[in-house]
Amino acid sequence: MKKLFPLLLCYTLMATQCYAISGGPVYGGGRSVNVIGAYSGVIQGVSQTDSTQGPAIPGEPGSSTSNTVASNALGLFDLVVPGVSTATGAFILFASGRVFGGTISASVDPDTAKLSGVLDGAYTFTVTTFSAAGAAVTTTVSAQAIGLINANIKTAGGSSFTSARLTGTASLDINFGNLDPISLAPIIAQVITFNVSGFQQTNSAQAASTISSLTSLTGTGAGTGTGSSG
């Protein structure tokens, strides 16, 4: 009996280890991606809807037509997702013969790894017109590219050099600084849809934007016309 007891005890310990859970507890509903970090990527234009406004007559609604075509718009972005507060970044976009520069503000759900944010870009230029008396009048105009971005952050598989990838879509409303004469709302000339693709450069929230220095872009334009010089 004394020899049998140690054998039973040994068997019991072995069976207990077989049913043990290895690796410790699992947090975040089984999510395995760390969303915190710095990201960089591309926004590639997919389709572009151009709107043509009719002549603006005060008190009369203007006519408009639209045409959807493939878009050659392309942009670059960087984004930092911190452990606290919203994600912030910058983007630069070539569209409609202009280069827009702006910012990204987004919220990232750490459980679902879903990103939802706003892109706000502008291209500022000057237009020179002439009054009835021949005096030059210079006006600063700001074209805008504003819209939404929605993306998912997923663990990169295989032999990827990055630990996470960001994929999704974005849509930007483009206006060229024109306002509706009645409502004074910006006249949307184009709506561009984008595919978003990015990758995690580091899993620490260090804000080192290489694009932010390019977002204050200015251009010049020239035009002729008549008006009051004040």
Helices (H) and strands (E) in the chain, counts: 1, 10
Residue 157 is predicted with a pLDDT of: 72
Cα distance between the two ends of the chain: 113
Q: Which two tokens stand for residue 83?
A: 């452990």
Instruction: Give the model confidence (pLDDT) of 157-197 as tens digits.
Output: 765 667 889 999 999 999 888 877 888 788 888 899 999 99
Domain positions in the chain are: 37-121+147-218
Global model pTM greater than 0.75: no
For residue 71, CA distances in Å to 43, 68, 96, 103, 202 come to 12, 9, 9, 22, 31
Instruction: Give the model confidence (pLDDT) of 102-118 as tens digits.
Output: 999 999 999 999 999 99
Residue 1 is predicted with a pLDDT of: 53
